[in-house]
């Protein structure tokens, strides 16, 4: 099990970068740029063959980064990600089998939800921190605001369709700890290995808070 696990992924920064890594060689400089910009938590999605190697490189070479794995959908992936060095796990949805594997992994995790029933089911199982996905398509801030009254014990990281313009609206909500997004890692900047640009975008994202002011 990785050392120094975060008590809560939701409290590390206002924004959780969601990274699609095409080349594992980019993992370390990318992580350094994001950390330098004030975003220590990094979700590397399992959407490319480079993901696991990239997670391992970030975990080994960027000690200030809190590297996690996203798009985790099977128990086998849970084990692979933790073995690679992931310090948290994120899934787009959940099943009892996947939830059991994530719970047994010993690392924090954010199972994905998009309905009140899914939230209630997780609360019954003792899970209070979740990913709300796909956030904009599933009802956005209005939906999460509606959940805050009857289910105040649930906290969320909304992800999906969120950019810097809408992020502060989510951060005003009492049940939102952070938002997930990829706007600070645009594909053209990553392809060009423009680490200074990514660091600048990360710094701007790290300064977001409710109402769009710096924390």
In angstroms, rounded to a whole number, what is the distance separating the alpha carbons of residues 162 and 178?
11
67-117 pLDDT, tens per residue? 999 999 999 999 999 999 999 999 999 999 999 999 999 999 999 999 999
The two three-digit tokens of residue 195, written as one number? 């680490």
145-201 pLDDT, tens per residue? 999 999 999 999 999 999 999 999 999 999 999 999 999 999 999 999 999 999 999
Q: Comparing 194 with 2, which gets the higher pLDDT?
A: 194
Bridge partner list, 112: 131
Residue 209: left (phi > 0), alpha (psi -120 to 50), or beta? beta
Q: Is residue 204 annotated as a catalytic residue, yes or no?
A: no
pLDDT of residue 213: 43
Catalytic residue among 43, 129, 169, 199: 43
Q: What is the mean pLDDT of residues 34-50?
A: 98
97 CA to centre of own chain: 21
Catalytic residue among 22, 118, 129, 131: 131
Residue 82 DSSP SS3: helix
Q: Which helix (H) or strand (E) holds 60?
A: helix 51-61
**How many CB atoms lie under 10 A from the CB of residue 97?**
10
- Kindly report the length of the chain: 215
Bridge partner list, 180: 16, 159
117-161 pLDDT, tens per residue? 999 999 999 999 999 999 999 999 999 999 999 999 999 999 999
Helix locations, the chain, DSSP H: 27-36, 51-61, 75-84, 96-105, 116-124, 140-148, 167-171, 187-191, 195-206
pLDDT of residue 4: 74
């Amino acid at each position: 099990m990785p050392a120094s696990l975060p008590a809560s992924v939701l409290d590390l920064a206002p924004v959780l970068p969601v990274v699609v890594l095409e080349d594992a060689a980019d993992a370390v400089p990318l992580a350094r740029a994001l950390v330098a910009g004030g975003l220590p938590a990094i979700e590397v999605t399992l959407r490319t063959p480079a993901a696991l190697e990239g997670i391992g490189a970030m975990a080994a070479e960027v000690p200030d980064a809190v590297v996690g794995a996203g798009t985790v959908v099977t128990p086998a992936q849970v084990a692979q990600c933790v073995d690679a060095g992931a310090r948290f796990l994120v899934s787009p949805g959940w099943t009892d089998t996947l939830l059991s594997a994530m719970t047994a992994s010993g690392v924090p995790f954010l199972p994905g939800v998009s309905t009140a029933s899914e939230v209630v089911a997780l609360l019954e199982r003792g899970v209070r921190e979740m990913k709300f996905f796909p956030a904009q398509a599933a009802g956005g801030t209005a939906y999460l605001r509606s959940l805050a009254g009857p289910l105040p014990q649930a906290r969320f990281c909304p992800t999906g369709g969120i950019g810097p313009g809408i992020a502060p609206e989510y951060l005003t909500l009492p049940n939102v700890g952070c938002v997930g997004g990829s706007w600070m890692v645009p594909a053209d900047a990553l392809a060009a290995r423009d680490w200074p640009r990514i660091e600048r975008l990360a710094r701007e994202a790290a300064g977001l808070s409710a109402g769009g002011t710096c924390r």
